Structure 1
Amino acid sequence: MRIVIAGGSGFIGQKLTQFLINKGHEIVILTRKDKHPSEKITFIKWLVEGASPEQEIKSADVFINLAGVSINDGRWTQKHQKQIYESRMKATDELIRMIKALSEKPSVLINASAIGIYPASVKKIYTEKSLEKANDFLGKTVSDWENKAEQVKSLSIRTAMMRFGVVLGNEGGALPLMVLPYKLFAGGTVGSGEQWVSWVHVTDVVRSIAFAIENDKINGPVNVTAPSPSRMKDFGKTIGSVLHRPHWLPVPAFAMKLALGQKSALVLEGQHVIPKVLLDQGFEFKFPSLHKALEDLLTSK
């Protein structure tokens, strides 16, 4: 298949690109920067003055939208929040414009999303059928992002909203910062420790995207989280166990709020999310347990 990826140079995008190439697919990456041509990847300019990427794409089977400023980088200042929000809206608007301009439409749009759309709770369990939506910054951003992407449904294009949980990987995401205190022998429970961490290994993120491309029954929201979420205190203890480091120094909520501001909600609050759609469709997680996932990431050579 010919697959167009927006956000292909990011943490998830790079791994996804390599995975799809290994599967024999033809990859087109939309980029703002000049890239050296590759035997297996076509780079096409977009979101820059004078660019008309649809004229170069001409046709594609799949569009994947991972584009947007990372929520993990920097403090959530008002300026940074605006960049996070607007980067997603602008990229999705441009993708929709491009798809409408193509004479041959893709059969599916895979759009990144996040479990931040669900309200934080220590008691509730969320599946894709849960209708509650968070009214904070992240909840609004994700909700507006999904609503915008769903516009392609009017073109009879299947649309899957991949609601990523806390993605675990060594090259990006939250894990390097979560692991650092343990490497310094200063790890411990963050906040109350009762908040849920609905995590997922980056390998399973990539595999789930490929699964959604191939499975035409997958439509609408898809929770991309491992089937065994963990309380934050247990998450920390598992890091300590895998690294053979103590789990002893608590990090109070006020300290996290002081250090991270509004962004502290990413670690002080959480959601218990179950990937019901993936499980119902027969997706098999390579890393269903936290200990196995962390062993792979923290001890593999």
Structure 2
Amino acid sequence: MRIAISGGSGMIGSAITKELVESGHDVYILTRSTVNRSSEPHIQYVRWLSANSYPEQELEGIDAFINLAGENLNSGRWTPAKKDKILKSRLQATRETVRILHALEKKPKVLINGSAVGIYGTSYSRTFTERDTEPGEDFLADVVTAWEEAAQDLPDETRLVYARFGVVLSTEGGALKKMLPAFQLYAGGKLGTGEQWMSWIHLEDVAKGVVFLLDQEDLEGPVNFTAPNPEKMKHFGKTLSVVLGKPFWAPVPSVMLKAALGEMSVLVLEGQKVLPDQLTAHGYTFRYPKLKEALENLVT
């Protein structure tokens, strides 16, 4: 298949691109940068969201589009300007994606649009699946709701999937990379109460799961990208300490995290228990369904 991907240079996008190429697909990576001819087989770069760029002219005949573009949630305090950029970057990329799809003479079979489990809001007690349709009432829920709505005006021929990512585990970036130094320096401990849920997923399952979706013609709408065994934060930390052979003893109070991170502290102090019902119902087999095996693969 010929597949376009925006956000293809990020942690998730790079892993998906690698999986696509290894699976025999041709990949077109959309970029704002000046485009040079790729030296990598099966990968081409296409300029978009820049002056005088018309990506549809180079994307005619693509079979699928994967849109992951958007400002990184973890790249700084959530000031009013940062929050505005988080929202607007996602809306701009998604609206441009929709425009491109309408401009193509041959419509792609599927758009897999990035999304997040943050749409469900936070809870210590509830379990969320794709059947939950009432969004939460915080900033992230509002962003994801608007992000998904921006993708809805697609050509009738194009199937729409919202890939709702949980906490993606990788040593290349994200939450795990930020947590590792403290544990490696014997200063690891629970964050806040430790009772908050962490709906995690190994990066490899993200990449393989997205490729899996390409051929599931009856699967559309929201798809949760979380492992089938979410953990509370205190159990996550204890498991990481065991895998690393380090102690688990220095709790970080919620008030300190809120002071250091501001509103962004919601990413580690609050969470939600989210299950991947759609992936499992359609026969996807997780490579890393349990946390200990996932962490052992990543950090040992």
TM-score using structure 1 length: 0.97
Provide, for residues 127-152 of structure 1, a one-character-per-residue CA deviation record: whole Å limited to 9, x for no partner: 00012211211100001101111221
Percent same amino acid among aligned pairs?
47
| Structure 1: runs of 5+ lacking an equivalent | none
Q: Secondary structure at the match of 1:182?
A: helix
In 1, Cα distance between equivalents of 2:4 and 2:27: 6
Residue of structure 1 in register with 2:156 after alignment: 155
Contact 2:35/2:47, CA 8 A, preserved across alignment = no
Say whether the 8 Å CA contact 1:3–1:25 is kept in structure 2.
Answer: yes
> SS where residue 151 of structure 1 aligns?
coil
Tell me the amino acid that sits aligned with residue 132 of structure 1: E
User: What residue number does 1:126 align with?
Assistant: 128
1:223 corresponds in structure 2 to: 224
2:191 match: secondary structure:
coil
Q: Which residue of 2 aligns with 1:293?
A: 294
Question: Map of 1:32-71 to 2, 5 A cutoff?
Answer: 32-38=32-38, 39-71=41-73
Instruction: Give 1:197 shift.
Output: 0.2
Shift of 1:217: 1.7
1:163-205 CA distance string (max 9 Å, x none): 0000000111111112221111111111111000000000000
Q: What one-letter code is carried by the residue in structure 1 that aligns with 2:13? A: G
RMSD (Å) for aligned C-alpha atoms: 0.9
Match of residue 140 from structure 1: 142
- Counterpart secondary structure, 1:20: helix
The 3-state SS of whatever aligns with 1:163 is strand
Following the alignment from structure 2 to structure 1, what is the Cα–Cα distance between the partners of residues 121 and 100? 33
Number of residue pairs aligned between Structure 1 and Structure 2: 298
Cα distance, 1:155 vs structure 2:
2.3
Q: Is the 8 A contact 1:2 1:60 kept in 2?
A: yes
Q: Distance in 1 between matches of 2:281 and 2:299?
A: 30
- Tell me what 1:3 maps to: 3
1:174 aligns to what SS in structure 2? helix
Structure 1 runs (4+) deviating above 3 angstroms are none
- Conserved? CA contact 1:62–1:106, under 8 Å: yes
3-state secondary structure, aligned to 2:174:
coil
Which residue is 2:245 aligned to?
244
Does the 8 Å CA contact 1:119/1:132 hold for their aligned counterparts? no
SS of equivalent to 2:62: coil
Measure, in 2, the Cα distance between the counterparts of 1:35 and 1:49. 13
1:18, 1:110 → 2: CA distance?
Answer: 17
User: Displacement of 1:36 after TM fit?
Assistant: 3.3
Contact 2:107 2:157 in 1 (8 A): no
**Gapped regions of structure 2 (runs ≥ 5):** none
